Amino acid sequence: MESDRKPRRRVPLRTKLLLAIVAVAALMLGFLLLYFGPATEQSFSAASDEWIERTSAAMRELSRTDNENGQRLLNDLIRHSADARRRALLDIPWSLYSGDATLVSRAIEAQDAARSRRLARNVEVLGKELNRRAELRIAAYVETWNGQQRTVATAFGSRLRTLYLGLSGGVLLVLLLVLALGLDRAIVRPVRVLRQATQKVASGDLAVTIDRAPHDELGDLAADFAEMVRRLRASRDEIEDKSNQLEAWNQTLQDQVQRKTQHLQSALADLRATQLRLTHADKMASLGTLAGGIAHEFNNLIGGIRGCIAEAVASAPDSPAREPLEVALRATERAGTVTAKLLRFARPRVQGMEHARVRELVVEVVDLVEPQARRQGVQVELQVRDELDVRVDTGEMHQVLLNLFTNALQAMPGGGRLTITGRRVGSEVEIAVADTGIGIPEAQISHVFDPFFTNRTEHGTTGEGSGLGLSVSFGIVSAHGGRITVDSEPGRGSTFTVCLPGPDQTGGGR
Amino acid sequence: MKQLGSTPSDGTPARGTTPPTPHPRPPHADRASAVRRDREPQCCGRRTGTRSPIGDTLARVALVATLSLTGASGPAQDRNGKTPQPPKRIGVFFWHDSPNDEAALVGIRAAFAEIGRKDDIRVARAGENEAAGARILAGFQRDGVDLVFAMGTQAAVLASKHVKRTPVVFTAVTNPIDAGLIRSWDGSGSNLAGNSNWIAPDTILQVFRMTVPGIGRLGMIRTPDCIVSASELRALRAHSSGGTTPIEIVEAPVTRAEQLAAAVDRLAAQRVDAIWIPIDPLVYRNTSRLLDAARGRGIPLVSSSLRGTRTGATAGVVVDYVLLGKLAAAIALQILEHGRDPGSLPIGRMHSYRVTVNLEAARQCSYEVPYSLLLLADILLEKIDSVDPPSPRGK
């Protein structure tokens, strides 16, 4: 019946200690009154009796000695006085008085009077001396008695002290033991339990409970501690929830940041590539404009010159000047070819965009360069899926691939491996032409697509063409809406990558 | 001046030679027996078959009373004015200032006054100057004095030398035989008569024994050339072996006052029970030095002179010099009134003596005087006199 139990009454610790002290004092006082009181009285009475007996015996002995001495001295005094008077009478000058009884009587009386005065004076002095000696004797006796009394008192005190100390020590020991046990039960144990609970809490264990707490200040402390632990536990749970939530938020944020970072990095790369392309395109555009203007003007001039020469040759077929004129005519034809290439670079045009299998485009061009590759000892490897197609001006694209293959073979005069890879990357079609040739120095990479740029190496290998092939290819690819890039490492080879819009995105040429 | 056989300044007796007994029973024997009666009862046997002194005295008193009542003629009637004699010229000669000699003169004057004599008493003092003394004595004779009192040993010696016809009565002479004044205590056979302050050695020793009960060793400080102290030493040594406890006397000779303290130290080292101040001028005049040296040692000083007791000795034994003077006056009266031949008169000696105790001296020596001596003392002194008491100088 839990509800029927009366709650224990709370007793403050101070009240407990006060009650314990009062109890100890009462016990000690009771013990002293009941035991030490009669014992002390009896012991003191015995000591006093002993001292009084000793003192009385000493006083009796003193009185007896004084009496004996007094009697003896009085006898001596009587004898001495009689003898002294006798001798004094003998010394009276009898003859002086010639038998005059009055004079004799007067002389005797005078002698007696002088003797009486002397004795009176002696008695006075003797009285003082006897008083002095009596005081000394009394002082000596008092000192002796005091010494005896001190001895008796010391012995009494020693016995009493020993008794007191022994019994008090025993009683005190028992009471202290009881008090210690009470203190251990009332204070030490609850404090120890509280300390153990505190240590658990300190080690992180908040699932502690304190049972059987006393109903005093320590019990209040235990209750406060339990409440504190409960609140700590609630706070810790709340903190854990917040922490988990925060951690989730943090993870999300990190993912977002990572994605944003990747996006930004990609955007930055694209931006840089775009910037590079734009820069390059701008440069190519400028070059194209310049080259196109020059080529147009030179093409017009060369066309006029070639017409005149052709007319001169035709008009004088047997003339000795015919041979130089034919040479000049062939030179103008080559000049016309150059200007035509310049015009194709400056004004690329794609016409007749059509779907084409990339592999077929590549194989057709590879067939053109394979004899040269065989002669140079270059191994050609194709990694192009059959179904990969692209929408291009196949004629122009043939030119592009031919330029790239030719450049690759020119970079591998001593043999190597030419790898053509075709794949779809996102919405684009990527065609990579990789060689294991001499590579391009890093400083020259940004100029490989410039018109008339030829790759000069320290070994003396130079481009064998006019330096317009890559420029023309750049222009064609750009006209397709694509881009052409190069990665190269000197001594290990170069990779030219052509990215073209997928067949679904290709809208038409430029 | 060498004090051969002279009376010391305090007039205490020089006891170089034990005087013969002037009476059938010598006075010193009486005194000794009186003192030792309780301890030596055999002394009483000496009086068997003789009349006791008290009985003798009472017999004399009875005789005087009888003569007075019966109206018998005699010298008393003459002194009562019946047959008055003319005053005599009497010269009193002092060798030096001495309280005891002065006390004796007081006794002489008192005796003459008691019997109504109005003699012409002339007092003269030599101031320890022998030539002056001779002149004084010659003046006495030139003036026709009827009798000369010589006060003290040295005065008596000078008087015997310079006064040949006029009767000379000496007093306060300790040992007149040693002083060369007389040959027998029975009479001088010349113009000299007188009495002595001599005290028997037994009496002195008995007082010393009373002062220090059980005394076994007695120290004595003296100058080797002092004949008085030498005679004292001989006399006491002759009697010190008697009694129930013999006394060994240890002598400590000194020649200067500065040696007195060392002498006390030597005696203390020899475990003496008391130190005796003899009649030796160098010693008794420096009693205070001895007292300083003995202070706190528990060894009392004892003396055979009143001066020694007054100035530092715990106990002493002396005679009554006033009474001695009266006795000398009685001798003079025998010569002046009765025409007795001075040379036929026996030399008088006293029967009585005075035991003197100085309590302060005892305290300074850290010595407690026995009760018996306190009760039997005739004179109890509370303080030490730094100097001699004023002399009752006669006129």
Residue B316 main-chain phi, psi, to 5 deg:
-160, 170
- Interface predicted TM-score (ipTM): 0.72
Nearest to A96 among B38, B74, B330 (CB): B330
Asked, for residue B72, whether it belongs to a domain, the answer is no
Q: Which of residues 109-168 of B touch A (CB under 8 A)?
A: 111, 114-115
Higher-pLDDT residue of A323 and B120 is B120
B376: containing domain: 200-318+353-381
Average pLDDT, chain A: 82
The CA radius of gyration of chain A, in Å to the nearest whole number, is: 74
- Determine the distance in angstroms separating the CA of A51 from the nearest CA of chain B, rounded to an integer: 30
Q: What is the pLDDT of residues A55-69, one digit of tens each?
A: 888 788 888 888 887
Higher-pLDDT residue of B275 and B83 is B275
Residue A464: per-residue pLDDT: 53
Q: B192 and B231 share a domain? A: no
Q: Which residues of A touch B74 (CB under 8 A)?
A: 98-99
Whether the pLDDT of residue B191 is over 90: the answer is: yes
Contact B29/A at CB under 8 A? no
As given in the structure block, the two tokens for residue A75 are 């006898």
Check residue A160 and give left, alpha or beta (phi > 0: left; psi -120 to 50: alpha). Answer: alpha
Strand partners, B218: B249, B274
Q: What percentage of residues in chain A have a pLDDT greater than 70? A: 94
Whether the pLDDT of residue B292 is over 70: the answer is: yes
For A394-426, b where at least 16 C-beta lie within 10 A, e where not — what string? bebbbbbbbbbbbbbbbbbeeebbbbbbbebee
Q: Which residues of B touch A69 (CB under 8 A)?
A: 371
Q: B134 and B226 share a domain? A: no
Whether the pLDDT of residue B32 is over 80: the answer is: no
Residue A5: per-residue pLDDT: 58
Q: Which residues of B touch A118 (CB under 8 A)?
A: 378-379
Residue A433: per-residue pLDDT: 94
Whether the pLDDT of residue B68 is over 70: the answer is: no
Higher-pLDDT residue of B317 and A341 is B317
DSSP state of A92: S
Contact A100/B at CB under 8 A? yes
| pTM value > 0.80 | no
Contact B213/A at CB under 8 A? no
Q: What is the pLDDT of residues B211-267, one digit of tens each?
A: 998 899 999 999 998 776 887 888 888 888 866 778 999 999 999 999 999 999 999
Q: Which residues of B touch A90 (CB under 8 A)?
A: 27, 30, 53, 56-57, 351-352
Asked whether B151 and B176 are in contact (CB, 8 A), the reply is no
- Contact assignment for A76 to B114 by CB distance below 8 Å: no
Residue A465's pLDDT band (cuts 50, 70, 90) = low
Residue A128's pLDDT band (cuts 50, 70, 90) = confident
Task: Report which listed range, A123-127, B14-18, B111-115, is most confident.
Answer: B111-115
Q: How far is CA A24 from the centre of its chain?
A: 54
* Choice among A18-32, B20-34, B66-80, B266-280 with the minimum mean pLDDT: B20-34
Residue A507: per-residue pLDDT: 52
Q: Which residues of B touch A128 (CB under 8 A)?
A: 382
Asked whether A298 and A335 are in contact (CB, 8 A), the reply is yes
- Contact assignment for B53 to A79 by CB distance below 8 Å: no
Q: B274 and B189 share a domain? A: no
Residue B46: per-residue pLDDT: 30
Q: Which residue of A has its CA nearest to B326?
A: A93
Residue A245: per-residue pLDDT: 93
Q: Are strands A493-501 and A428-434 parallel, antiparallel or unpaired?
A: antiparallel
Q: B359 and B345 share a domain? A: no
Q: How far is CA A43 from CA A33, A36, A56, A162, B10, in A?
A: 15, 10, 20, 13, 68
Q: What is the pLDDT of residues A238-272, one digit of tens each?
A: 999 999 999 999 999 999 999 999 988 888 888 88
Q: B357 and B231 share a domain? A: yes
Residue A461's pLDDT band (cuts 50, 70, 90) = very low
Asked, for residue B48, whether it belongs to a domain, the answer is no
- Determine the distance in angstroms separating the CA of B94 from the nearest CA of chain A, rounded to an integer: 23
Q: What is d(CA A289, CA A493) in angstroms, rounded to the nearest whole number?
A: 32
Whether the pLDDT of residue B24 is over 50: the answer is: no
Q: What is the pLDDT of residues A296-306, one digit of tens each?
A: 788 888 888 88
Whether the pLDDT of residue B29 is over 60: the answer is: no
Q: B127 and B256 share a domain? A: no
- Contact assignment for B76 to A100 by CB distance below 8 Å: yes
Interface test with B, best of A77, A89, A112, A130 (most B CBs within 10 A): A89
Q: Which residues of B touch A122 (CB under 8 A)?
A: 377-380
Q: B111 and B187 share a domain? A: yes
Asked, for residue B297, whether it belongs to a domain, the answer is yes
Alpha helix stretches (DSSP H) within chain B = 27-35, 53-70, 75-79, 99-114, 130-143, 153-162, 201-211, 227-240, 260-269, 281-284, 287-294, 306-310, 321-336, 359-364, 371-376
Question: What's the total number of domains in chain B?
Answer: 2
Q: B345 and B275 share a domain? A: no
Q: What is the pLDDT of residues A148-176, one digit of tens each?
A: 777 777 777 787 778 777 777 777 787 77
Whether the pLDDT of residue B305 is over 70: the answer is: yes
Asked whether B8 and B281 are in contact (CB, 8 A), the reply is yes
Q: What percentage of residues in chain B have a pLDDT greater than 70? A: 75
Residue B51's pLDDT band (cuts 50, 70, 90) = very low
Q: B236 and B283 share a domain? A: yes
Asked, for residue B325, whether it belongs to a domain, the answer is yes
Q: How far is CA B41 from the centre of its chain?
A: 27
Whether the pLDDT of residue A498 is over 90: the answer is: yes
Q: What is d(CA A387, CA B320) in angstroms, rounded to the nearest whole number?
A: 184
Nearest to A80 among B320, B376, B380 (CB): B376
- Contact assignment for B54 to A87 by CB distance below 8 Å: no
Asked, for residue B219, whether it belongs to a domain, the answer is yes
Q: B367 and B279 share a domain? A: yes
Q: What is the pLDDT of residues B130-177, one digit of tens each?
A: 999 999 999 999 999 999 999 998 899 999 999 999 999 999 988 888
Which residue ranges form the domains of chain A, and what is each CATH number? 9-202 (no CATH), 348-510 (3.30.565.10)
Residue B395: per-residue pLDDT: 33
Q: Out of B308, B331, B349, pick the residue that ends a domain.
A: B349
- Contact assignment for B378 to A84 by CB distance below 8 Å: yes
* 3-class DSSP state of A62: helix
Whether the pLDDT of residue B6 is over 70: the answer is: no
Asked whether B350 and B327 are in contact (CB, 8 A), the reply is yes
As given in the structure block, the two tokens for residue A130 are 């006897």
Asked whether A353 and A506 are in contact (CB, 8 A), the reply is yes
Asked, for residue B300, whether it belongs to a domain, the answer is yes
Q: B332 and B374 share a domain? A: no
Asked, for residue B59, whether it belongs to a domain, the answer is no
Residue A466: per-residue pLDDT: 67
Whether the pLDDT of residue B301 is over 60: the answer is: yes
Whether the pLDDT of residue B72 is over 50: the answer is: no
Q: What is d(CA A17, CA A183) in angstroms, rounded to the nearest whole number?
A: 8
Higher-pLDDT residue of B357 and A337 is B357
Whether the pLDDT of residue B328 is over 90: the answer is: yes
- Look up the CATH number of the domain holding residue B366: 3.40.50.2300
Q: What is d(CA B281, CA B11) in angstroms, rounded to the nearest whole number?
A: 11
Whether the pLDDT of residue A46 is over 50: the answer is: yes
Q: How far is CA A37 from the centre of its chain?
A: 70
Average pLDDT over residues B261-276: 94
Q: Which residue of A has its CA nearest to B383?
A: A125
Whether the pLDDT of residue A460 is over 60: the answer is: no
Q: B185 and B219 share a domain? A: no
Asked, for residue B150, whether it belongs to a domain, the answer is yes
Whether the pLDDT of residue A457 is over 80: the answer is: no
Residue A390 main-chain phi, psi, to 5 deg:
-150, 155
Whether the pLDDT of residue B58 is over 50: the answer is: no
- Contact assignment for A73 to B382 by CB distance below 8 Å: no
Average pLDDT over residues A495-505: 87
Contact A101/B at CB under 8 A? yes
* 3-class DSSP state of A147: helix
Whether the pLDDT of residue A187 is over 70: the answer is: yes
Residue B341: per-residue pLDDT: 95
Q: What is the pLDDT of residues B347-395, one digit of tens each?
A: 999 999 999 999 999 998 888 888 888 888 889 999 988 754 444 443 3
Query: Any residues with CB less than 8 A from the CB of A391 and at least 6 apart, and which?
Result: A353, A354, A355, A356, A501, A503, A506
Nearest to B330 among A76, A95, A118 (CB): A95
